[in-house]
Amino acid sequence: MNFKKKIVKKPKEPVKILHDADNAALHISTHLLSIFPTFYHRPIVFVCIGTDRSTGDALGPLVGSLLEEKHISNFHIYGTLEDPIHAVNLTTKLKEITDKHVNPYIIGIDACLGRIKSVGSIQIGKGPIKPGAGVNKELPEVGDMHITGIVNVSGFMEYFVLQNTRLHLVLNMAKIIADGIAKASLSFPIKQTWTKLYIENEHEEKTP
């Protein structure tokens, strides 16, 4: 969970969508597809960050679990309620992902705190997120793009605020994010499962 501004590289302001707005899931899908790489052989990987030990920080693993239940065939999902990705195992999990997938296009999903008028908003944009920045932890940046959900108000006693965030809001936001990702998946081919060894062997066979 990051309490401060999460965007590390931001070429432009991210799109902000209220989770209870009309057609919110469709808007999420549209913006995802506008940013996704057009080179379909690059695997699309969602890294859902957070822990179910805190209601506010459970957004990421909730999204991951909801996506698993949808059995999306063309995206790779990491970070669920059963197998969360958090500060302790983030580095290890990212290495596992990059070892398994060739040049993955990674979308980082995480919760954050913000202004009171922005609570309930979902932000989508280019560039990675920086988990742990708000608590002075040196953690790796995650993602070629990001989806963040503003689950509560920042600025005072952030840990207390996070622990007392309403699960109802977090779950509803997670459902909308997962629905948007599922809609986006309908416009993508079956996910690639090529390994680095396969790519290297294919290259060697073509080399005279």
* Segments making up each domain of the chain, as ranges: 15-206
List all residues 6 or more positions away from 131 whose beta carbon is below 8 Å from its beta carbon: 1, 2, 49, 87, 90, 108, 110, 137, 139, 142
pLDDT value of residue 13: 66
Q: Is 198 exposed, middle or buried (0-12, 13-18, 19+ CB in 10 A)?
A: exposed
Level-2 CATH architecture, domain 15-206:
3-Layer(aba) Sandwich (3.40)
| 78: phi then psi, degrees, rounded to nearest 5 | -130, 140
pLDDT tens digits in sequence order for the chain, 208 residues long: 654 444 434 445 689 999 999 999 999 999 999 999 876 678 999 999 999 999 999 999 999 999 999 999 889 999 999 999 998 999 999 999 999 999 999 999 999 989 999 999 999 999 999 886 555 567 889 999 999 999 998 877 777 777 889 999 999 999 999 999 999 999 876 655 544 444 444 444 444 4
CA–CA distance, 117 with 115 (Å, rounded to integer): 5
CA–CA distance, 54 with 81 (Å, rounded to integer): 12
Name the pairing type of β-strands 121-126 and 44-48.
unpaired
SS3 63: helix
pLDDT value of residue 190: 63
Are 83 and 67 in contact by the 8 Å Cβ rule? The answer is no
Q: What is the chain's alpha carbon radius of gyration, rounded to the nearest angstrom?
A: 17
pTM of the complete model: 0.84
Q: Which helix (H) or strand (E) holds 78?
A: strand 76-78
pLDDT value of residue 52: 92
Query: Residue 167 has what DSSP assignment?
Result: H
Q: How does pLDDT run across 110-156, given as a tens digit for each residue?
A: 999 899 999 999 999 999 998 865 555 678 899 999 999 999 988 77
SS3 194: coil
